[in-house]
Amino acid sequence: GAVVSQHPSWVICKSGTSVKIECRSLDFQATTMFWYRQFPKQSLMLMATSNEGSKATYEQGVEKDKFLINHASLTLSTLTVTSAHPEDSSFYICSAHRTNEKLFFGSGTQLFVL
């Protein structure tokens, strides 16, 4: 079964509103989670590394004030897209390491901004 749960699987929102996406590790603790974004027919691009109990590390070109990441517990990281615009419409996906194992991915969230 799934070891990383991501919700919602899809969301439609109006331009200017904020959307929160949750990523949970189901049966293990994840001190580090990763958030990726994928545009159609493009590769997954890392947005940020979410660190439990500390600030997230953002990749170059990713606006930290627009994509708020909170990793308040060892099993939950959230990504909030603030003041969403149509160009933010994309597939967002999280991942987490289970100790000394390969990376597990959530099922992804398709965001549509009208």
Partner 1 sequence: KQEVTQIPAALSVPEGENLVLNCSFTDSAIYNLQWFRQDPGKGLTSLLLIQSSQREQTSGRLNASLDKSSGRSTLYIAASQPGDSATYLCAVSLGANSKLTFGKGITLSVRP
Phi-psi region of 108 (alpha: psi -120 to 50; beta: other; left: phi over 0): left
Q: Which stretch binds partner 1 (CB under 8 A): 11-19, 67-75, 78-86, 99-107?
A: 99-107
In the beta sheet, which residues pair with residue 12?
A: 112
Our finding on whether 14 is near partner 1 (CB under 8 A) is no
| Interface with partner 1, residue 51, by CB under 8 A | no
**C-alpha count within 13 angstroms, C-beta hemisphere, residue 38:** 14
Nearest residue (CB) to partner 1, 29 versus 83: 29
23 forms bridges with which residues in the sheet? 6, 77
Q: Is 1 in the site for partner 1 (CB under 8 A)?
A: no
Give yes or no for residue 72 binding partner 1 (CB under 8 A): no
Containing 35, the helix (H) or strand (E) segment is strand 32-38
Please give the residue ranges that form the binding site for partner 1 (CB under 8 A): 6, 32, 34, 36, 41-46, 49, 91, 93, 95, 97, 100, 102-108, 110
